[in-house]
Amino acid sequence: MALNQNEKALFWSKKGYQSSLSANDSTNMASSMLNIGTCFAQMEQVDSAELYLQQALKFSPQVVSTSHFISTYLSLAMTAGFRKDYPTQLDLLLRCEALERNLKNPMMTIHKLDIKNLLGNCYLNLGKIELSLAYFKEAAEIAEKWDNKSGKSKAYYGLSIIAEQKKQYAEALRYYKLHTTAKDALFNEDNTEKLTQIEMNHEFAQKQTVIKAAQDQELALKDAKNLQQRLLFGFLLLGLAGGAVFVFYNYRQRQQHRQLELELASLRAQINPHFIFNCLNSIYRYTKERDTDTASRYLQKFSSLLRLVLENSRTEKITLARDLEALQLYADIEGLRFKEKLRFSVDMDPEIDPTFLEIPSMLIQPHVENAIWHGLMHRPTGGDITVRFRQPTETLLRVEIEDNGIGRAAAAELASKSATQQKGLGQKITAERLKATGKLAHTETVDLFDAVGNAAGTRIVLDIPL
């Protein structure tokens, strides 16, 4: 659903409903009804959408959460909009607003933004301009706060229409420019000039990071030298000897912590140049073969991956959903390069909310990269990689990366030079980051075998404290 692949989403939602029906699981039956109805709504199949959504509303609050009712009313409001039944749509949206107002969960902010934008549009269709203006302004404020480009595009478009109706043409033009800027930001990943600009910005940021790290390190060394001089003078004062030792110890601890932060900043700035070269070379090859569709898809995914890596490197932690988005793009790119021989899947425990959990970025990707180059590249028919997520406790996330490659023993015999280099770079960076942050509690590598004892792949188990 997040990828707008509505046919696939509908298939799996129906599967989920059948499973929950067999297990007599009312909670998941309600969620499946909502998902099926939402899929039909996204596909503008109004009658089918309303049938399932009305069924989803029949479950009691003891079975489902308030957010379930908000989502259901929002989808019904969407179908009412398709019918141009704006009074019904307004009633549904006001119910959403009343429910959302009582929520304390910050994860529901996206519901709040959708409600404000839809109310603004509904009031505009009903001719209530002032109410529409108020809701669109609230939506724009929320979207700016959370940098939600889709929300900004909708809010500013509505504000531009209202300003035009009020003959405030300067304001209308200003809002429309903000709308187009937000809209362009959603769809410019396939623009070659944007890709070039991203690469240039990355190179500049990388150089600036290295220069800043060097300057900070030089300053730290000067401070340490000055401290030593002060300590030499302090030792002459026997009465202050104990205090001087204590200050020196604390200062050195801070210096070591700062040094680790600088190393992390340098590591965040790295993007594997060998991977970039291979990607650009593949794009060139597809273009030369006049396979423009594949070249366009490859370029779009590659630029999106670069953007995500640069954005994710700005913070110490990112959400699991954000990290999975980058991981999926990486797997798609490698799949295109190997002519769709790579099959990548994610198995997420339903109880895990990937939009809530936060982990250090790009911990999983080096192991997936190693599985491709070290385990699957030697198989003529390609292979499968599955990434599983489980949460044994509230404070521990377990990640398993499993492939059906040739196994570590066979890979060692082949001694592929390129595979070894790829493995060394990605895992060395990951190991240094985890050593500095202490985020990884346990790493285990398991060799897999079939029923007759032949190598059947490898499984990596990561336990990450939350």
The arithmetic mean of pLDDT across residues 51-70, rounded, is 85
**Per-residue pLDDT at 60 exceeds 60:** yes
Residue-by-residue DSSP string for 109-169: HHHHHHHHHHHHHHHHHTT-HHHHHHHHHHHHHHHHHHT-HHHHHHHHHHHHHHHHHTT-H
Q: Is 267 exposed, middle or buried (0-12, 13-18, 19+ CB in 10 A)?
A: middle
**Per-residue pLDDT at 269 exceeds 60:** no
| pLDDT of 243 | 67
The CATH fold assigned to 317-465 is Heat Shock Protein 90 (3.30.565)
Q: Which CATH architecture has domain 6-187?
A: Alpha Horseshoe (1.25)
Residue 179 three-state SS? helix
| pLDDT of 425 | 53
With cut-offs at 50, 70 and 90, classify the pLDDT of residue 287.
confident
**Per-residue pLDDT at 99 exceeds 90:** no
Percent of the chain topping pLDDT 70: 83
With cut-offs at 50, 70 and 90, classify the pLDDT of residue 335.
confident
**Per-residue pLDDT at 423 exceeds 50:** no
With cut-offs at 50, 70 and 90, classify the pLDDT of residue 276.
confident
| Intrachain domains 6-187 and 317-465 with the same fold | no
Q: Quote helix, strand, coil % in the chain, to nearest 5.
A: 70, 10, 20
Q: CB atoms < 10 A from the CB of 367, how many?
A: 24
Per-domain boundaries in the chain:
6-187, 192-268, 317-465
Closest C-alpha among 312, 307, 313, 317 to residue 356: 317
With cut-offs at 50, 70 and 90, classify the pLDDT of residue 438.
low
What is the rounded average pLDDT for all residues in the chain? 82
**Per-residue pLDDT at 292 exceeds 70:** yes
Where is 392: in which H helix or E strand?
A: strand 383-393
> Residues 345-362: pLDDT tens digits?
999 999 999 999 998 877
Where is 457: in which H helix or E strand?
A: strand 455-465
The arithmetic mean of pLDDT across residues 446-452, rounded, is 90
Lowest mean pLDDT among 39-53, 267-281, 303-317: 267-281
Alpha-carbon distances of 131 from 112, 158, 174, 191, rounded to whole Å: 16, 12, 20, 38
With cut-offs at 50, 70 and 90, classify the pLDDT of residue 408.
confident
